[in-house]
Amino acid sequence: MDLDPLSFLVDLCCANDHKQQERSPSVIVIGGGMAGIAAARALHDASFQGKIFTMRKKAGTVALCYGNSKQEGRSPSVIIVGGGMAGIAAARALHDASFQVVLLESRERIGGRIHTDYSFGFPVDLGASWLHGVCKENPLAPLIGKLGLPLYRTSEDNSVLYDHDLESYALFDMDGNQVPQELANKVRDEFSEDMSILRALKLVFERKPELRLEGLSHKVLQWYLCRLEGWFAADADAISLKCWDQEVLLPGGHGLMVRGYQPVINTLAKGLDIRLGHRVTKIVRQYNEVKVTVENGKTFVADAAIVAVPLGVLKSKSIQFEPKLPDWKEAAISDIGVGIENKIILHFKNVFWPNVEFLGVVAETSYGCSYFLNLHKATGRHVLVYMPAGQLAKDTEKMSDEAAANFAFMQLKKILPDASSPIQYLVSRWGTDINTLGSYSYDAVGKPHDLYERLRVPVDNLFFAGEATSMLYTGSVHGAFSTGMMAAEDCRMRVLERYGELDLFQPGMGEDASVIPLQISRL
């Protein structure tokens, strides 16, 4: 009869152990190879107290590592680079899965492109401010509902204009005359071809030559062009209209976060180990660990890392990767577009404008068009938000805050000559901010849409998250959140597989989470 060495070892230990009433049988396993691990596993499952001792050489020294088969005393570890929505979501998920998590953020605040400012005495978002998809399918809906955060969603009103997202508008020409809604609809309906936006514009004139003769209709067309440039934060000659037509939107319309996005970020970040003012300069990946170095020279070491910095930062190559990232990853970083949209927020003493969601200004070119978000309708505050995008956003970033605010006010004066001067203002600069170097990603002309997936795919134990890694919901907060959760789960599975401890992980928020109805107003 063949002898099973492992069974023999277990039986021998059991036979020789003198059990005491208040003491479990014990054994020491010397050697952490397959035989030692197998023996320790069998004895552990037989209710033995087990220790593994092994001598391991590392960095010119000899370190004595000990623990039971579950590596007693040491949890799997991960470093999160970037404290925006994606990074915070990943850190939250892995922290709740009992990982040791350190999040490194270059700024002195968390949130990234979410930045709620309170200097007016009430919350105003300088960055992301909308929940795109006010519905239970939105992965952020459970948390927003639990926090009781109110949303403002636009509602239909036949007395004003609407764009393709059913947001209400009042459009004006440069002389202050309101544009008829019928004319705006006529121009908008022609604007749906699969090509660059500028090419589509030329086709509109070819198919509807009468539009060339209607000066105001041309201006309205430029207005919709301006709105598209704002949606993608880029100029029309860079945006792929074909990819835009394929965009996936969640149902429910768009909801403005009335109290700002900061409460969501703060809730997700509660209890996490977050190191502010830690700008990452170098990431070295090895088979069994990742080393992350910050600007002051300090190095953090963990089993894995999740890179959740904005695409603009990756494009700038301010983070050195060793070894260098694969060519396909570098190509994704290079070929995905990153655009700029800013906010110039004007706070007034009194309200003197129409009660609609947006005020739009039409002009001869999209560059000359402009629009203001009316926060008074949504929040009751006396605030208009001027939102330049593309080249106009770049040009306003060259101005001082005072000059930029005055520029925005002059655009308002063109349509409302009796407008009173603002009493306060705020100006964002997402394009030149070294922590972002852009607002959000977009589909560039001639580039495949799967670039987003290539950017998301891990490289060994290095994972990637952020709105630019979302195939379906680029440029959105819920897209960033979802990619953070995906990166966390991918990281968890890889690390625990190596530890031999892979089990089922249920995120704190997901499709099965109980949903509290969202608080939606329609003023």
386 is in an annotated binding site: yes
Amino acid at 259: R
Structure tokens that stand for 129 in this block: 């401010």
Terminal Cα distance for the chain, rounded: 85
Cα 414 to its chain centre, rounded Å, is 36
Q: Please, what is the Cα angle at 308 between 237 and 133, to 5 degrees?
A: 65
371 is in an annotated binding site: no
Dihedral, CA of residue 7, residue 8, residue 9 and residue 12, to nearest 10:
120
C-alpha 30/C-alpha 33 separation (Å) is 9
Could you give the C-alpha distances from 368 to 84, 189, 397, in angstroms and in order? 33, 22, 16
C-alpha 179/C-alpha 229 separation (Å) is 20
| Contact call for residues 216 and 179 (beta carbons, < 8 A) | yes
With CA atoms as reference, report the closest residue to 337 among 232, 247, 480, 481: 232
For 213, phi then psi, to 5°, come to -90, -10
Could you give the C-alpha distances from 208 to 14, 157, 480, in angstroms and in order? 91, 29, 40
Residue pointed to by tokens 């020789």 = 16
For 58, phi then psi, to 5°, come to -155, 130
Half-sphere CA count of 280, side-chain side, radius 13 A: 31
DSSP track, 371-419: EEEEHHHHHS-SEEEE--BHHHHHHHHTS-HHHHHHHHHHHHHHH-TTP
With CA atoms as reference, report the closest residue to 300 among 288, 314, 284: 284
With CA atoms as reference, report the closest residue to 175 among 354, 413, 353, 355: 413
Say whether 68 sits in a helix, a strand or coil. Answer: coil
With CA atoms as reference, report the closest residue to 260 among 156, 95, 177, 144: 144
C-alpha 83/C-alpha 92 separation (Å) is 11
Could you give the C-alpha distances from 448 to 150, 241, 454, 468, in angstroms and in order? 38, 13, 10, 14
Amino acid at 41: R
| Contact call for residues 84 and 109 (beta carbons, < 8 A) | no
Q: Which residues are annotated as a binding site for FAD?
A: 280
Residues at the binding site are 280, 386
Annotated binding site for substrate: 386
